[in-house]
Structure 1
Amino acid sequence: MSIKIDSKHRYRQFICKLFFRENGAVTVFSVIVLSSLLLFFSLLIDYARIAALHKLTEDAVRSSVRSVLSAYDDALYKRYGLFGRGGTDGQIIFEEMMKANTETADDLGRSGMKLVRAKSDAAALHAATFLGSHNVFSRQVLEEMKYKAPVDFTLDIAARFIPMADAMKEASIAISLLESMRKLYEKREIHLANVLQMQKQMASTISGSSLSMLIPVQPGVVAIEGNSALGIAGEYSSYAAKVIYNQSLTAGEKKLNTAEIEAYEEKVTAFAMELRKVSDDIHRQHVKLQGEAIQELEAARALNDDMLRIVQQANQQPQHSGYDTVSKHKSANTEQHQVPADAASDIEQVRKAADELVKTDGWFTEYRQEVEAQGSSAASLDMEAGAYQSSSLAAIVKPVKSITADTLLESVTSLRLAYGAYEQKYIRPASVIVDRQKALDQGQISKQLKQQKEQAGSLWNQARSLLHGLTSIPQMEEHQKVFEQVQLRYNDNLLFNEQPDEATEIVDMEKASDAHMAAEQSNTLMGGLFSGMSGMLEKTRDSLYFGEYVIQRFTSFAPQHLRSMMTGGDISELSHAISFHNQEAEYIIYGFNNPVGNIAAAYGELFAARLAVRTMEGLLESKSLGHPLLILSAALIYGLEKSIEDMLAFSERGTAPLSKYIKVELSYTDYLRLFILMHGADDGASLARMIAAIELNSGTILSAVPSGVTGEAAVSMELWFIPGLIRTLGAVGLLEGKVVGNRYETTQTMGWSY
């Protein structure tokens, strides 16, 4: 028991010595340790309060910025689906929300101790992005249309063209080939016609000369001044007898008939010189014309070679990716509307028949030989004329018994035979010329082609007059002023976005000089339509979204406005209807800065689209004509007739059948959707035109409408403990703000956009 008491006593003594020593060393040590701990915890508390302040400020600025964006232009959204700052001034909203956010946080702590009592010292709001920026505008349009665009509707329009893809592809190749062949064919036939014409001119150098009177070979032909080769030969016997008699007289005897002898000799000399002169002139002209005929023939041969190359290239099956891509999307839904199963193959056969237009090289060789034979025949006639001249002049120089009238008659006979041979082949009945004429006319082909060309030309003039009527509409001054206002906004927006002014390439049907050029242009447009559809089906649907945005949000020109002009030529209604507010979509697509340009472009392309489809039908309807150019001309006539009917249908009810084989009606706006796919609506110029139209209608400059803002706020709080120590931490980069006096200040920046 005593041992336990002693142990407790010793323990108490030890404790007393340890804590209550008289020198105070332990007490000082304890104070130092506790002070260090107090300093550390005070620093830790203020640092935690600073971190909480940063979080509080970040949330407050974010909430305030979003509150600013909650005030948007209601009219702009309802009409165009676009978000832009509007309503109350954004700076006021931001300041009030920052104050409310910080004060609300402060009020929550009044019932007890609050670690962070923040104070909003300053708040500034800055616009970050603007709705007039193409990147911002296009993003909002895509976001809007991804949920609201009737994609299935536009895809259904494209699906209606799918059954025609193969036939339209073959029609495109066939028309392109046949048009190229036709141009070369017509040039070649002109050269061949020139060759034949020169053959006729070569013949006319002889038939139209005095040679036929110098060498009368037909009864009733009157010789020049009673002289002819035959007459001179017939008088030679009498002349020779008189000369021989005078030569037999002795010296001193008087010569008889000297006057008659001299007259005959003068007549022979003059006749021989005249015959030679006429023959030389004829031969010189004949040789010149023959050379020109050979040149024309070789030019025709060169064109024929070009035709052969075109046929060979066409047989290599060039790629038409747009048609092929659309054709791949055939489905069960497209089977109910089908062109004839053999339509594509039938049109392909028409295309392959184009090689019938090419002549063989042997044909040209044979024709050249024919022209050269005509020249040889003329040369023979010239040679016989020279022989007769030599014989007749020799007969009067030294007439002897060996030179008789029979000798001259033989020379005349040879001359007449040479003339007769030429005359029969090339003058009358001109068997060679007639046969060649028939060969070049190809029976009734040339006549039929001429008739079809006139008919197609008449129809094209009618269609062109219709299209020209759109460009000749009187333009009111108030309409033009609106377009000028739009153009100013358009240029300003391009400048704001640093974009160049790019013109839209269009198919201008009115500039087509004839029906064939119109067919080629319509062919080009249809290829563009199928390329646009293939891009939509295969690559991206952004172009579809932009197109639907244009169709849904902007007005288009109703085709019924054209009714009075197309039926009665009355354009008074049109002159009032062509205001900008009736053709916003057309302006966005084509970009013409006048009241009639965009409408003319849209309806010109509409006519071109209809002409392409109808010409394809015409190829199938006319395939039995055989000759490829007859088929082409007949197809154009059919296409023009039906296209004009389609335009009348649009003016009456706003729709027209897609094809005689596909019994569906497409409206004018359906075609506008396709034209947008073809031209695109996401380029800088198109976006600027959309923005210009919106600005005109809303009175708001989108380049000044913020679509995103940045808020900057300065917030501070009072430090509880040792500001100097916190300032030291800031100096070494451990803080995001700064210490001023006994307050910690920080700035927070936060951005947000629609």
Structure 2
Amino acid sequence: MLIIVPVFLLCAMLIDFSRLKVAEKEAENAVKTGVRSTLSAFSRQLQAYGLYALRQDGEEERTQTKELFQHTVSENMSGSVAKGGFQLVDQRLEKDRSSITPMYTLANHTIMKKQILEEMKYRAPMIFALELADKFKKTGLASTLGQASRFSKNAVQIEGLLEERDRRLDQAWAAWSSIYNKAAAAHPFYQTQLSDLNELSGKVGIHTVDEVKQSLQSAKRDLDDLQSQVRKIDRNIRSLIEAGAGISAAAERLRETRAELKSQIADIGDKISDLNQLLEDVQKYVALLAMLKLKSSADLAEFKAMLKSFEDALAGAKSANDQLNDQLRSITAQQQSSSTSAMEAERAFEGIYMISRQELDEYGSQAAASIASFAGLEAQLGNVLLFDAGNYRNADQTLQSFWKLAQELFTRQGAKEAERNKNKAAVTTSKREQRNKAQPYLDQVTKAMGSCSLTGLTDPFKASYVTLQGDPSKGSTGLYQAYMSVNRQTDLAQPVPDIKLDDADKAGMSAMNLVSSIESVLADVRDEFYLDEFAVSKFNYRTFGLEKDMNGQVKVSNELSRPDSHALVNQELEYLLYGANSCLGNYSAAYAEMFVIRLAVGTAEALTEPHIQSLNLGSPLLVFLAAVAEGAVKAQMDMMKLVQGEAVPLSKKFGSAFSLTYKDYLRLFFLLHSRDKVLLSRMQALIELNTGVPLTQSTTYLSGTATTSVKLWFMPGVMKWVGASELYSCRVIGTRCYITKTGAMSY
């Protein structure tokens, strides 16, 4: 008995231990099966979009999910097997201790993107290769567009520098012309005045005004004395005559004395007259010399002010000219190092009128030398105290040197200015003609952008857009903002290019900026493309239902999402791209962008075969504007076909062999402006609008926990003691052992 009893106890314990291990494995499999079976009840509406999720947005759905889980787990328990036979394990589910927990929803961008990539990873690469990338890459159009974009940017930059250089040179020439005109007026004036001053200096000699005045006053005093003596003699003579004839001899002597005094008076009168004339000449001399000093100082100050304006303008011209020359050298180096042949339009850079830095430096130094020469004249006049013949010769030589320098520079630079401006008027006129040629077509595009197929005066899609985007006037938010908030994304900026169609310049640059990155974008297949292709395949667009196959039959969509039945009729892709809150806004943005793409293609084609007249005028911008005008005509004609669902040749060089439809261009725009977070949120909003299924309550991951129990056959107390040693995950209560298992699974 001592041997049999322990052996029996050991066997009993091993039997229950084996049963519990079987029960653990059975419970684990049952829980996993329950979770998997619960996930099989995915939403059929979402599955039409290739998405799998379990709806949990209502109490009924949550109850059904829990019941399905419990039922599946229970039916996979050994205790559910019909009675009547021997059962090694009679395990059963404890429903009150079982739960199913949904986790992670399709509202999460990461989860959503993962499912989209799984849906599209087989379809998208084929469509990409056949319908988009090959058409651009095999034809070489992507490379041509890249070249055209680079040419346009170079042309605008070069034209800006060229215009700045010419504007500053025009300012410098205007300033120098003013200096020359003043010099032309100053030269004869100073020449005459110096001659007069020289003549006066010869008359005046070394006399001064004070000296002459003193001499004059002395002569006048002598004259007064003589005249007084004459009057006294006259009185004496009268007295003698009255006294009688006996005094005739004395009277005669007085007459002789009077005659001598009269002679002296006449001499002094002549002297006074000469002194008056000398005084007048001295005063004129002094006034003329003072006037010349003041005038030359004032003129020099004015010349210096004019020279300052001239030098400022010339400095700006030098800076612009240096940048222009550097940029032209850089463009030439790029062309030489490029593996592709240069566009014919790039010959326009060769016809630009070039000016060396040395030439401008000489221009400035000669102008400064001319003014310096006049400054020498002013200094000579300022230092003169007594102007003599030597001073006159020096001043006259300086004056003639100033005038000669001014004349030579004006004549030489005038010829250069005429050569520089030779084609400017022709270029300006041609630019205006090309802009006027393109403008009517740009105006047509602007009008066409404002069209949207509405059945009445009110927008039938307004309610749908309010659901998607909210109503800003009421401060409400829509589904899009809600999904952005769920994913903690606050940047609502629209991924829309800055397209301006005001004039040919802005339209051309908008087109070139848009296609500048197309070559690099098409060279790489990214995850973003799969998202884009998912959108293109699952949603509708403007020409949906208008496109025809090769047999002329309208193409029918076989997508399970049924794009033809969606709330936003034929405008979903446009909404996904631009996010406007109206059909009009989204259609306009798509139309404008599509037009500039066609404009870019037409412009690039025109740049490969530019008009020889525009090439020879030395203005790259003119060549570009001429190409834009030609491209605008073609682009407008292409747009009329595209919005009718027709395919348009990618380029006239390849004919209809390579054509794109409205849908293809939308696919291209998704590539060019791909932004995952914005696009995913808009797709989530659209899917909820179309299906009525809130993705925030559409779970993609379940965690199920179930507690089962199995009856112990032998010695529950001993098994409870053994369980405490963690040999199995079972908790003994009474005669039953309770097992808790958790299973998790996602789509």
| 1:531 matched residue in structure 2 | 520
Q: Residues 560 and 117 from structure 1, CA distance in 2 versus in 1: closer, same or farther, beyond 3 angstroms?
A: closer
Q: Is residue 722 of structure 1 aligned with residue 715 of structure 2? A: yes
1:40-55 alignment, distance < 5 Å: 40-55=10-25
Q: Give the superposition deviation at 1:141.
A: 0.9
Q: Check the 8 A contact 2:155/2:621 in 1, yes or no.
A: yes
Q: Match for 1:183: what amino acid?
A: G
* Larger relative contact order, structure 1 or 2 (CA cutoff 8 Å, min sep 6): 2
| 1:453 matched residue in structure 2 | 431
| 1:16 matched residue in structure 2 | none
Offset from partner CA, 1:464-504 (integer Å, 9 cap, x none): 65666588789967576345339532232233233443635
| 2:91 matched residue in structure 1 | 118
Q: Give the superposition deviation at 1:690.
A: 1.5
Q: Is residue 60 of structure 1 aligned with residue 30 of structure 2? A: yes
Q: Check the 8 A contact 1:559/1:668 in 2, yes or no.
A: no
> Which shifted more, 49-58 or 701-710?
49-58
Q: Give the superposition deviation at 1:743.
A: 1.1
Pick from 126, 136, 147: which aligns with 2:111? 136
Q: Give the superposition deviation at 1:520.
A: 4.4
Pick from 651, 661, 664: which aligns with 1:659? 651
Identity rate, percent: 24
The 2-side partners of 1:409 and 1:735 are apart by 128
Pick from 593, 601, 606: which aligns with 1:605? 593
1:189-200 alignment, distance < 5 Å: 189-200=166-177
In structure 2, list runs of 5 or more residues that go unmatched: 206-211, 220-262, 453-457, 472-476, 547-566
Q: Give the superposition deviation at 1:544.
A: 2.3
1:203-602 alignment, distance < 5 Å: 203-206=180-183, 252-253=266-267, 254-255=269-270, 277-314=294-331, 317=334, 344-347=340-343, 350=346, 353=349, 358-372=354-368, 374-375=370-371, 431-432=411-412, 434-441=414-421, 443-444=422-423, 446-458=424-436, 465=443, 481-485=466-470, 488-501=478-491, 503-510=493-500, 515-516=504-505, 518-536=507-525, 540=526, 542-558=527-543, 582-592=570-580, 598-602=586-590
The 2-side partners of 1:530 and 1:204 are apart by 57
Q: Check the 8 A contact 2:200/2:282 in 1, yes or no.
A: no
Pick from 666, 669, 693: which aligns with 1:675? 669
Offset from partner CA, 1:282-309 (integer Å, 9 cap, x none): 3332222123322322332222222333
| 2:550 matched residue in structure 1 | none
Offset from partner CA, 1:396-453 (integer Å, 9 cap, x none): xxxxxxx9xxx99999998997798588668xxx634531321321x22x12321233
Q: Give the superposition deviation at 1:724.
A: 1.7
Q: Is residue 622 of structure 1 aligned with residue 610 of structure 2? A: yes
Offset from partner CA, 1:496-517 (integer Å, 9 cap, x none): 233443635543022x886556
| 1:330 matched residue in structure 2 | none
The 2-side partners of 1:311 and 1:141 are apart by 49
The 2-side partners of 1:160 and 1:587 are apart by 26
Q: Check the 8 A contact 2:343/2:608 in 1, yes or no.
A: yes
Across the aligned residues of Structure 1 and Structure 2, the Cα RMSD in angstroms comes to: 4.5
Aligned length: 642
**Partner-residue secondary structure (3-state), 2:3:** helix
Q: Residues 437 and 526 from structure 1, CA distance in 2 versus in 1: closer, same or farther, beyond 3 angstroms?
A: same
Q: Residues 319 and 675 from structure 1, CA distance in 2 versus in 1: closer, same or farther, beyond 3 angstroms?
A: farther
**Partner-residue secondary structure (3-state), 1:112:** coil
Q: Give the superposition deviation at 1:533.
A: 1.0
Q: Give the superposition deviation at 1:264.
A: 7.2
**Partner-residue secondary structure (3-state), 1:721:** coil
The 1-side partners of 2:379 and 2:122 are apart by 94
> Which shifted more, 130-139 or 548-557?
548-557
Q: Check the 8 A contact 2:194/2:396 in 1, yes or no.
A: no
Q: Residues 505 and 70 from structure 1, CA distance in 2 versus in 1: closer, same or farther, beyond 3 angstroms?
A: closer
Q: Check the 8 A contact 1:297/1:368 in 2, yes or no.
A: yes
The 1-side partners of 2:728 and 2:466 are apart by 61
Q: Give the superposition deviation at 1:555.
A: 2.9
TM-score normalised according to structure 2 size: 0.73
> Which shifted more, 165-174 or 64-73?
165-174
Q: Is residue 188 of structure 1 aligned with residue 165 of structure 2? A: yes
1:703-714 alignment, distance < 5 Å: 703-714=696-707
Q: Is residue 637 of structure 1 aligned with residue 637 of structure 2? A: no
In structure 1, list runs of 5 or more residues that go unmatched: 1-30, 217-227, 325-343, 396-402, 562-578
**Partner-residue secondary structure (3-state), 1:509:** coil
Q: Check the 8 A contact 2:21/2:728 in 1, yes or no.
A: no
Q: Residues 560 and 252 from structure 1, CA distance in 2 versus in 1: closer, same or farther, beyond 3 angstroms?
A: farther
| 1:85 matched residue in structure 2 | 54
Pick from 85, 96, 102: which aligns with 1:127? 102
Q: Give the superposition deviation at 1:529.
A: 1.9
Q: Check the 8 A contact 2:46/2:52 in 1, yes or no.
A: yes
